[in-house]
Amino acid sequence: MEYDQALDPRKNYQNTRQKIGYVNRKEATEADYQRIGFKSGLEVHQQLKTQEKLFCHCPAGIYHNNEDYDAEVIRHMRPTLSELGEYDGTALMEYKTRKEIVYRLNNETACTYEIDDTPPFKMDQEALEIALDISLQCKLNIVGEVHITRKQYLDGSIPTGFQRTAIIGVEGELPLKNKTVRLIQLSLEEDSCREISDIRHTRIFKTDRLGMPLIETVTYPDMFTPDELREAAEYIRFLNRSTGKVRTGIGSGREDVNVSCRGGTRVELKGVAHNKWIPELSHNEAFRQWALLFIKDQLAGQVTQPDHWEMSHMQIDIGEQRLTDDLLQQASHRGEQIIAINLPGFRGILSHFTQPGKVFADEIEDRLKVIACLERPNMSHSEESDPRLHADTFPTLSPLLSAGPRDAQIILWGPEEDIPTALETVEERCRMAFHEVPRETRKTFPDGTTVFERVLPGPDRMYPDTDSAPIPLDKKYIEERRKQLPEEIIDRYHNLREWDVPEDTYHYIFSKDLYPLIRDISEKLGYDAKFAGTFIGHTLKFVEGHYKRHADFQYTHIYDLFAFISQKGLIKEIAKKMLPWVYNKNPMDFEQILGEIHYKPLKKDEILSRLPQLHQQFDRISHANNAHSRNDWMMGQLHHNALGNIPLDELRKEIEKTQVNP
Amino acid sequence: METDKETHQGYKGRALDILKKFNIRVWSAVNIQTTRGHFEGKILPRSENDDDKHLVLKIPTGYNIGIDTDTIENMEETGFEKANYKIPEQEFPYSEHLPNVKLFGTGGTIASRLDYRTGAVIPAFSPGELYGAVPELADICNLTTEKVFAVFSENMGPSQYIQLARSIGEEIENGIQGIMIGHGTDTLHHTAAALTFMVQNPPVPIVLVGSQRSSDRPSSDAALNLIHTAHTAGHSDIAEVMVCMFGPTSDEYGFLHRGTRVRKMHSSYRSTFRTIGDVPLATVNREKVTPIKQNYNPRREDRQVRIQPYFEEKVTILYYYPNMQPDIVDALVDMGYKGIVIAGTGLGHVNKPVYPALKRAVEKGVHIYMTVQTLWGYVHMFVYDTGRDLMDLGVIPAANMLPEVAYIKLGWALGQTPDREEVKKLMLTPINDEITEKEPYNGYLVYQGGVPEVEEFIRKYHK
């Protein structure tokens, strides 16, 4: 094969996509997931609704804008050795990146504990209790003593370099509709910082969220399709919310999704904020791994001695090579080095499909950003669909690199001090392609694709926290808590079905934890459960979607509303008319709302006594005297008076009666 | 044969009984059946201070949990693997062009690793271990190490000061180009003062260093403190006894403090060491030492160091409080104390009822010096009658010497002579700024937050 027989990157992408048998998520069947051996588990993070943070007395749940800070502190993270005297993979990578970590502190939400200048205070009792309640709810085996453990994180997201975390229970289970999902454990831990920016060698965090109590529920990899995965995620979220003691809103619940395909590796998709994104993300990740296995096979045919594989590189002087590419000239102006790399045997690999719209070369570019701190665009390669460089740039450089017909090339650029790490990074990723799917954590995007975030940490990064004493959980306390547990989500689900509440309301009811409200309206006030469920699941949902919520409105006001209606002897339908006012204007003064909607108390007889007169009136003004339009017109006339006084269907019947016999 | 203590490390009472009952050892892999369900993992040693009602189990995910012994129905050993944790050693490289520096260990853990299974702190100390932990050191100096003794910071005392001073003297005679001393931080400043008096006219830097966060923590200050200290010992021109610790709490630069003017001022901050009543000697970062004070003792080629290893142990500090009773002073005299440093209020005061006791003490030959518990500022006993009265009783004002420094110096002086005048001369003749002629205007800076200009400052600069 001659070099000028150019490979068409677009075609190669399409062909490889087809070769691995990628299907769109919407068209994928269970057979597709069986074919690639889709397997996944969840780590569900949920913030708890406590007054204070987990290990200090700063308030929890107050957030600041990026510029709203009082002071900054700088830290660096150094890797610590594992028991074998080796640095953990993540540790080594984080150290290579040599990041300067800046923490922004706001005095309202951070004290000296957050920046690790004061040892931890006692663990927040409120948080421990909520975590215990949820652990019991998950049927976990509760530990005898809570041991606070340090879990190392070197990305800077926690100023100490480790997260304080503690197991509350192990080995539980969740009953989904069609299967049981096993739980590995539930831990109570402190939340991390929020990242403001990560540019070059500086990463900036804010510390408002840092230290807020969080639980992590970890499942076994028992989910074999993306839909099962989502169902499990929803179930755990609903269960957490059913306690009424967890935070809701943006960022308060986040999922880490572990995915692998047959022959692949556990890869962790980090911080998925919405459960609805889970199916697409996990689908694509399983296929990305599937694609990497095809790449491995293809490389085996193109590289005879993978263990002796080496790339070659040279520094490029753009003047000498007469290269006029804008990107290269700009890099050169910035004083950066430009390096051309030859990857023997990688022809057709760089443009190999990995994810929708992504190819193997992206795996390299992502790592250059994270590990070598080179901002994108940081490279170009010989198999780009939309070439960043001129068509003749690579052909010009290939002879200098002594490139052969089965090779591929990369040009990268960056500050001189980052080039050695950049070269190592490229070589390392390419070598991995011969052997395995790398163990990674990946950052997720709403379009269903992911990028490299970190090397997945090894198991040896857990250390006992020498700053805190173990906390015993005695039997009496556990039994006390067990008595106060809400019923299980699966039982609630069955109850709603039994009550004949429409199924399309369930997601809304569970996600807002409104089941107890429906139950109370039905059980305590005696309203029909189907009516209560439909009212909440349809009417309230509609109102929430169309009106602005009053600052004082709480769901419990709806119970008060029905109590009021019941006590006044009003008919229940009036609630529908009143709800927008309660929600939007005046959550507490129901009398006033009655005035606003022009309610007049009238007896049924009084209303019906107007019928004869209305019949006469209709006779006078009507053109088309049919029964249907007469009824409608009369309903329209009386609707107002009937509101709250007589159910509308009853009124209609009465009107119909009088029509037959006026 | 393993002893009971080893096989059941840290377990006692009920917990020990149940381990024995089921024939389970520390490091056993176990299946435990309890009334709370089934647990699986490895039995870990238990901290001696914890109760006897729980077993510590490392579960497969790496976390530790405690198992309530009352809930245990059955335990079964499924395996056994004892952890044997060692710090890896790599040979510390030697470079012809780098200075030779000696690191003395005193027992404080400047560099250490945590055994991830037990949580035990394992010190890294040999050059090879240190190189494994802080490889940057090899670019700064050629390092050798010596463990002089192993005591916790709070157990450092006169005999350790003397031993350390002698070792330093020997190293200097042998031609070393800089000395580092690893030390726990609690009494670091006491040792720094003692060495200033015992090792006089040193030709090379003598730098004490510790860490506020142990080096098994990724954001520890230990590595950077060690790097700063090695740089100072090997390359700085300042041949004095110094303390090198974080300047701001941020990982930015270190301060070099004179051994006689430095004090630990916060129980947990990284930037805990502050020079009191003066500005620090210098700043140090990874590249260079930048002197703040220009009048320091410069590095010399000669080896003319004077080792004066003396200490009288019957010396104490009396921290004055309102309503102090004279019997306290009487008791000290009765117990044979020869020197008392008073940390007095304000300009150096105690209440009248104590006067007779002080008079009796002086008459019995006890040497009494007055310092201030305000830490900043001078003793000034002429301002009020009470001060003049005290001096008449024989209480000697110690100018702006810090109470702890005065304690160390009095012990050192009394170790040489009981003569009242000679002791006074030793005490009041500064060896290295323990008494200064003046306090610079910027020598007292304790900012108070909340005022706009301070808030502006701390937002702009890393504190």
Residue of B nearest to A147 (CA): B65
Are A170 and B39 an interchain contact pair (Cβ–Cβ within 8 Å)? yes
Residue A411 class from Cβ within 10 Å (0-12 exposed, 13-18 middle, 19+ buried)?
A: buried
In DSSP terms, A188 is beta-bridged to A166, A215
- DSSP conformation class of A334: T
Distance CA A78, CA A99 (A): 10
Interchain contact, A462 vs B39, CB within 8 Å: no
Contacts of B118 in chain A (CB under 8 A): 464
Name the pTM for this structure.
0.89
Q: Do B284 and B257 contact (CB within 8 A), yes or no?
A: no
Q: What is the pLDDT of residue B33?
A: 96
Name which of A596, A265, A139 is nearest B37 in CA terms. A139
Phi-psi category of residue A357: left, alpha or beta, with phi > 0 → left and psi -120 to 50 → alpha: left
| Model pLDDT, residue B273 | 98
Q: Does A186 touch chain B (CB under 8 A)?
A: no
- Using a CB–CB cutoff of 8 Å, tell me whether A542 touches chain B: no
Residue B318 tokens read as 């009396």
Q: According to the CATH classification, is domain B315-428 in 3.40.50.300?
A: no
Two tokens, residue A271: 């911080």
CB contact under 8 Å between B37 and A187, yes or no, is no
Query: What pLDDT is recorded for position B85?
Result: 62
Q: Output A521-524 pairs: Cβ under 8 A, ≥24 positions apart.
A: A521/A558, A521/A559, A521/A562, A524/A559
The answer to whether B391 touches B381, Cβ cutoff 8 Å, is: yes
When CB atoms are compared, the residue of B68, B219, B220 closest to A145 is: B68
Structure tokens at B373: 């518990």
In order along chain A (662 residues), what is the average pLDDT of each group of 10 residues? 66 97 96 97 97 97 96 89 53 67 97 96 97 96 96 91 96 91 97 96 96 98 96 95 92 95 96 93 98 97 93 94 93 96 96 97 96 94 95 92 94 95 95 95 96 82 86 96 90 92 92 92 93 94 92 93 90 89 89 86 82 82 76 82 80 76 45
Could you tell me where the beta strands, DSSP code E, fall in A51-161?
71-75, 100-105, 141-142, 145-146, 148-152
How far does the CA of residue B457 sit from the closest CA of chain A (Å)?
A: 9
By Cβ distance, the residue of B61, B64, B83 closest to A464 is B64
List the CATH code of the domain at B4-80: 2.30.30.520
Question: Which residues of chain B neighbour A141 with C-beta distances below 8 Å?
Answer: 34, 36-39
Give residues with Cβ within 8 angstroms of A597, minimum separation 6.
Answer: A577, A578, A581, A643
Cβ neighbors of B39 (< 8 A, separation 6 or more) are A141, A170, A171, B31, B32, B57, B59, B65, B67
Residue-level pLDDT at B251: 94
DSSP string, B11-80: --HHHHHHHHHTT--TTEEEEEEETTEEEEEEEE---TTS-SSEEEEE-TTS-EEEEEGGGEEEEEEEEE
- Determine the Cα–Cα distance for residues A302 and A305; give it in Å rounded to an integer: 9
Token digits for A321? Answer: 């090579």
Q: Are strands A462-464 and A471-472 parallel, antiparallel or unpaired?
A: unpaired
pLDDT along chain B (463 residues), means of 10: 72 95 94 96 89 94 94 95 69 92 82 61 72 85 89 87 97 97 93 98 97 87 94 98 97 97 96 97 96 96 96 98 96 98 95 94 97 96 81 94 98 98 97 96 92 94 87
Q: Please identify every residue of B annotated as catalytic.
A: 109, 185-186, 264
pLDDT of residue A645: 83
Do B224 and A76 count as a contact with CB atoms less than 8 A apart? yes
Block residue for tokens 């300047």: B247
B contacts of A472 (beta carbons < 8 Å): 51, 53-54, 66, 68
CA dihedral B271, B276, B280, B283 (to 10 degrees): 0
CA angle A272, A275, A276 (to 5 degrees): 115
Nearest chain B alpha carbon to A74: B250
Asked if A354 reaches chain B (Cβ–Cβ under 8 Å), the answer is: no
Model pLDDT, residue B110 = 65
Sheet holding B142-147, edge to edge: B142-147, B100-105, B178-182, B206-209, B241-246, B254-258, B282-284, B289-291
Per-residue confidence (pLDDT) for residue A637, from 0 to 100: 82
Of A567, A518, A571, give the one whose Cα is nearest residue A540.
A518
Query: What is the C-alpha to C-alpha distance for residues A518 and A537, in angstroms, rounded to an integer?
Result: 9
Rounded to whole angstroms, how far apart are CA atoms A539 and A583?
Answer: 11
> What single string gives the DSSP state of each residue in A567-629?
HHT--TTHHHHHHHHHHHT-SS-HHHHHHHTT-----HHHHHTTHHHHHHHHHHH-SS--HHH
Within this chain, domains B4-80 and B315-428 share the same CATH topology: no
- Mapped onto helix, strand or coil, the DSSP state of residue B238 is strand
* Partner-chain residue, chosen from A72, A142, A184, that has the shortest CB–CB distance to B462: A72
Distance to chain B for A279, nearest Cα, Å: 26
Instruction: Please answer whether residues A196 and A210 qualify as being in contact, where contact means their C-beta atoms are separated by less than 8 angstroms.
Output: no
pLDDT at residue A630, rounded to an integer: 82
Per the CB < 8 A criterion, the answer to whether B54 and B67 are in contact is yes
Contact between residue A371 and residue A97 where contact means Cβ atoms under 8 Å apart: yes
Task: Assess A219–B contact: CB distance below 8 Å, yes or no.
Answer: no
- Report strand pairing: A194-199 vs A202-206: antiparallel
Q: What pLDDT is recorded for position B115?
A: 62
Q: Distance between CA atoms of A512 and A518, rounded to whole angstroms?
A: 12
Domain boundaries, chain B: 4-80, 100-307, 315-428
Mutate to test the interface with A, among B27, B61, B137, B453 (most CBs of A within 10 A): B61
Contact B455/A at CB under 8 A: yes
SS3 A386: coil
Which 166-225 residues of chain B touch chain A by CB within 8 A? Answer: 213, 215-220, 223-224
ipTM of the complex as predicted = 0.92
Alpha carbon separation from A240 to A50, A175, A214, A259, B34 (Å, rounded): 14, 14, 11, 23, 26
A positions 598-637 inside 8 Å of B (CB): none
Task: Measure the CA–CA gap between B225 and B284, rounded to whole angstroms.
Answer: 10
- Can you identify the CATH homologous superfamily of domain B100-307? L-asparaginase, N-terminal domain (3.40.50.1170)
Name the closest residue on chain A to residue B219, using Cα atoms.
Answer: A77
